[in-house]
Amino acid sequence: MASTLNLTLRVWRQDGPDDTGRFDTIEAPGIKDDMSFLEMLDVVNERLIEAGREPITFDHDCREGICGTCSLMIDGQAHGPQRGTATCQLHMRRFADGQTITVEPWRATAFPVIKDLMVDRSALDRIVEAGGYITAETGGAPDANLIPVPKPVADAAFDAAACIQCGACVAACPNGAANLFTAAKVAHLNLLPQGEAERYSRVENMVDVMEDHFGSCTNHGECEAACPKKISIDYIALMNKDYLRAKFKNRRYLSRNP
């Protein structure tokens, strides 16, 4: 049977991008420990509305760990205290009765606050737009056996494709770097035969856009620890290797095809 928790929330409130923002203290009594963190915020918001106060703005969509929109910094940890778990799948049983929980938006220059706990993460979209696709003609699905892919390679591509673009890696990084995100988006295409044709132009374009918006990676590894899909920083090494080769290969291609 679910037990209940009496909690105190310190929640970041910010009226808009130009507001300086502040922490509000909000009491949250009688929270069931089998609720998700977002369900707890729903309850708090219903009570705020009933009291004639402004509800807390936060992002969410699927609530199944798929869409990556539920991006909250909980007690200083991206997505909270449970490793490999998005905020929407974090349960209140992870917290203790009487606990004070601090809830903030992602803190990164590339993610300006829109309101309260909601940030603008469209800088990640710019990276994907620069090469996170293949340009092969679409058509009927070919027989999968026509393109053999070694099992370890398919697994590695699949692990990279698990990235949900939540931005936790950026928020956790002391430099605000997006290298783990970019590396995952590069790897899930570059590792497979279908992505090979644009392998070097893809990595060069995506990294160049990444560097326009985000900080630089200095191998802290906080990104891997914060990732709700446990994506390995090994992918950053793969991306860096491809990027160095791209700087040579793409230049040689361009010199022959001006």
Chosen residue from 43, 67, 134, 161 binding ligand FES by CB under 6 A: 67
Q: Could you tell me which residues are beta bridge partners of residue 91?
A: 36
From the list 5-13, 55-63, 102-110, 207-215, the region that binds ligand FES by CB under 6 A is: 55-63
From the list 82-90, 91-99, 205-213, 235-243, the region that binds ligand FES by CB under 6 A is: 82-90
Cβ neighbors of 172 (< 8 A, separation 6 or more) are 77, 78, 222, 223, 225, 226
Chosen residue from 68, 131, 132, 195 binding ligand FES by CB under 6 A: 68
Nearest distance from C-beta of residue 215 to ligand FES, angstroms = 24
Chosen residue from 63, 94, 220, 245 binding ligand FES by CB under 6 A: 63
Nearest distance from C-beta of residue 84 to ligand FES, angstroms = 13
- Our finding on whether 62 is near ligand FES (CB under 6 A) is yes
According to DSSP, the β-strands at 73-74 and 22-32 are unpaired
Total binding residues toward ligand FES, as defined by CB under 6 A: 14
Comparison of 115 and 199: residue with beta carbon closer to ligand FES: 115
- Our finding on whether 165 is near ligand FES (CB under 6 A) is no
Distance, CA of 111 to CA of 123 (rounded, Å): 7
- Our finding on whether 199 is near ligand FES (CB under 6 A) is no
From the list 17-25, 27-35, 50-58, 68-76, the region that binds ligand FES by CB under 6 A is: 68-76
Residue numbers 177-196 binding ligand FES by CB under 6 A: none
- Our finding on whether 79 is near ligand FES (CB under 6 A) is no
Residue found under tokens 């809830």: 103
Comparison of 34 and 212: residue with beta carbon closer to ligand FES: 34
Residue numbers 83-142 binding ligand FES by CB under 6 A: 86-88
Comparison of 65 and 167: residue with beta carbon closer to ligand FES: 65
Comparison of 90 and 203: residue with beta carbon closer to ligand FES: 90
- Our finding on whether 225 is near ligand FES (CB under 6 A) is no
Could you tell me if 159 and 104 are in contact, meaning their C-beta atoms sit under 8 angstroms apart?
no
From the list 22-30, 67-75, 170-178, 193-201, the region that binds ligand FES by CB under 6 A is: 67-75
Distance, CA of 119 to CA of 17 (rounded, Å): 9
Distance, CA of 112 to CA of 123 (rounded, Å): 10
Q: How far are the Cα atoms of 2, 26, 55, 90 from residue 35, in angstroms, in the given order?
A: 9, 18, 19, 9
The residue among 215, 246, 226, 221 whose CA lies nearest residue 236 is 221
Range 228-231 contact pairs with CB under 8 angstroms and sequence separation of 24 or more: 228/65, 228/79, 228/84, 228/85, 228/86, 228/89, 228/164, 228/166, 228/168, 229/84, 229/162, 229/163, 229/164, 230/83, 230/84, 231/159, 231/160, 231/162, 231/163, 231/169, 231/180, 231/184
Element (H, E) at 201: helix 199-213
Question: Which residues lie near ligand FES (CB under 6 A)?
Answer: 60-63, 65-70, 86-88, 164
